[in-house]
Structures are given as C-alpha cells and as structure tokens.
Amino acid sequence: MANPFQFLQQTRAEVAKVVWPTRREVALTTVMVFILALIAAIFFFGVDWLIRQALELILTFFG
C-alpha cells in the first residue's frame, strides 16, 4: 500500500490522462439525452394507453 503522498501523485497522474469533453460535446449529449427521454416517455405513454384501452374493453365486455 502506498503512502498518502504517493497516492496523491498517482491520482494526479491518472486525472491528467482523462480526456475531458468540450463544452459543445456536453451540450450535444445533454440535448440528445432530453430528446431520447422524450421519445421514451411518448412510447411508454402510448403503450400504457393501449393496455388501458384493451383492459377497459375486456372489462366492459365481460362486466
């Protein structure tokens, strides 16, 4: 196990290797996440609506 000084040196060396995204990349991926979340929400809303309609039809037919 390394002493605290060596640990900090190794940590700084590893952080220096990280390739940080540009502001444009961050903005683009953020917009993509919001768009995909909206698409998923619309999809699940539609599936939920179809299941609800089918259940209401079945329950009114047999009820």
H runs (alpha helix) in the chain? 4-17, 23-62
pLDDT tops 90 at residue 63 = no
> What is the average pLDDT across 11-39?
96
Q: Sketch the domain layout of the chain as residue ranges.
A: 22-63
- Provide the mean pLDDT of the chain: 94
Task: Tell me how far apart the alpha carbons of residues 8 and 16 are, in angstroms, rounded to a whole number.
Answer: 12
pTM score, two decimals?
A: 0.69
pLDDT tops 80 at residue 2 = no
pLDDT in tens, 38-58: 999 999 999 999 999 999 999
Closest among 25, 48, 29 to 37, alpha carbons compared: 29
The span from the first CA to the last CA of the chain, in angstroms, equals: 71
21-39 burial, b for 16+ CB within 10 Å, e for fewer? eeeeeeeeeeeeeeeeeee
> What is the average pLDDT across 25-34?
98
